[in-house]
Structure 1
Amino acid sequence: MNRGAKVLNLPNMITGSRFILSGCLMLLLLQEQTIPLALLSCLVFTVAAVSDWVDGYFARRYEAITVLGKLMDPLADKVLVATALIMLIPSGKLPAWVALIILWREIIVTGLRGAASSSGIVVAASNLGKLKSTLQYIGLGILIFPLGVLPIPYLHHIGMAIMYLALLLTIWSGADYFYKLRRLFLEDAR
């Protein structure tokens, strides 16, 4: 298989689609959220979130893991989550401070992973981090979903409760990454 074919594999194309879907989500959430538009926004977000698991499945199943995929997959996840977090603030569906803390953690962990990588240490996603991501996806999906469509009382409150739980896991998993990499910061940088 040639080098171009290895990079342009199905998992990487799915990952790339998450960037495109994040842009579409932003454009949709910029509009006044009528019920049909909010349903479309939720559908786009859901497809993008599910693609996070799908690309990983195909990459492992078909041994199609590439350096580009390892770099782009977590970035695509962060772009999707950041898009949803930021775009929900103006509508009042998400407090800005929740979005800010989640984004801080993502930036810090990305920096930690980069520092570890430059020292030859590979930091795989932890189960705690995966659970955090799953809860973020579920909570954000519920917050994007239009109110009044389903006969579920307090749907927004359920979404916020999930986001607060995701926030706790976000902080916990960030501290866990720092703890696991503490020796990296205690060593002499020669």
Structure 2
Amino acid sequence: MNLANRITLARIFLVPIIMLFLLVNVKFPHIRIEQFSITYNQIIAALIFIVAASTDSLDGYIARKRKLVTNLGKLLDPLADKLLVSAVLISLVEMNKVDAWIVIVIISREFAVTGLRQIALLEGSVIAASKWGKWKTAAQITAIIALLINNFPFAFINFRFDIVASWIAAIITIYSGFDYFIKNKHVINFSDQKQ
């Protein structure tokens, strides 16, 4: 197994560790400053999430630079991304930090685009990541970090950046999903003609 795939696997293995810090009911001390409060376990979870999310670009860069692109890597990389984002978002719903509908929209889009990619693969073509797909990922990661750190530092000026970022992530997620389907509708039409 090459270095890029090991990094991708490490991202997958970090998912349960993040969830452990977020969901295990242990009394962690709080940091309190005026109207802002956060537990140490949330800080640790946020730091691990940032490390895990940053490996997404790293493993792809290493695979392309060293010519280590493999079928296993093509399978594991998007799976790792979806596991990381989905697990943390579901944990944030459990913690009452984000509305469930936003998480349902994001996860539903991921299933739909993955299905579209599977149809394309069966037809012998590959759907590359679009610029909107990349914006979607950046928006989701930004929203998740803001939610994990309890809207720091915006809590001091009473601006709900975490909620705004969540809405922006949901809107870009929806748009990027439509963008994939509109630009690749020939994949579905072609598949229907063969049946």
TM-score (norm 1): 0.90
Contact in 2 for aligned 1:26/1:87 (Cα 8 Å): yes
In structure 1, C-alpha distance between the alignment counterparts of 2:152 and 2:56, rounded to whole Å: 29
Residue matched to 1:113: 117
In structure 1, C-alpha distance between the alignment counterparts of 2:13 and 2:54, rounded to whole Å: 14
SS in 1 for 2:105: helix
Residue matched to 2:22: 29
Aligned pairs (5 A) from 1:2-151: 8-32=1-25, 34=30, 35-146=39-150
Cα deviation, residue 31, structure 1: 2.8
Cα deviation, residue 143, structure 1: 0.5
Cα deviation, residue 121, structure 1: 1.1
Moved more, 143-152 or 131-140: 143-152
> What is the aligned-residue RMSD (CA, Å)?
1.8
CA deviations on 1:98-129 (whole Å, 9 max, x unpaired) are 00010000001000000101101111111110
In structure 2, C-alpha distance between the alignment counterparts of 1:136 and 1:120, rounded to whole Å: 30
Residue matched to 1:189: 194
Residues 53 and 60 of structure 1: CA distance in aligned 2, closer, same or farther (over 3 Å): same
**Which amino acid in the other structure matches residue 30 of structure 1?**
L
Residues 113 and 148 of structure 1: CA distance in aligned 2, closer, same or farther (over 3 Å): closer
Residue matched to 1:5: none
Cα deviation, residue 145, structure 1: 1.1
In structure 1, C-alpha distance between the alignment counterparts of 2:125 and 2:152, rounded to whole Å: 49
> More strand by proportion, 1 or 2?
2
In structure 1, C-alpha distance between the alignment counterparts of 2:49 and 2:3, rounded to whole Å: 20
Number of aligned pairs? 182
Give unpaired runs (5+ residues) of structure 1: 1-7
Q: Of residues 155, 158, 162 in structure 2, which corresponds to 1:159?
A: 162
Moved more, 90-99 or 159-168: 159-168
Contact in 2 for aligned 1:39/1:146 (Cα 8 Å): no
**Which amino acid in the other structure matches residue 176 of structure 2?**
S
CA deviations on 1:48-78 (whole Å, 9 max, x unpaired) are 1001111111111111111110111001000
Give unpaired runs (5+ residues) of structure 2: 31-38
**Which amino acid in the other structure matches residue 8 of structure 2?**
T
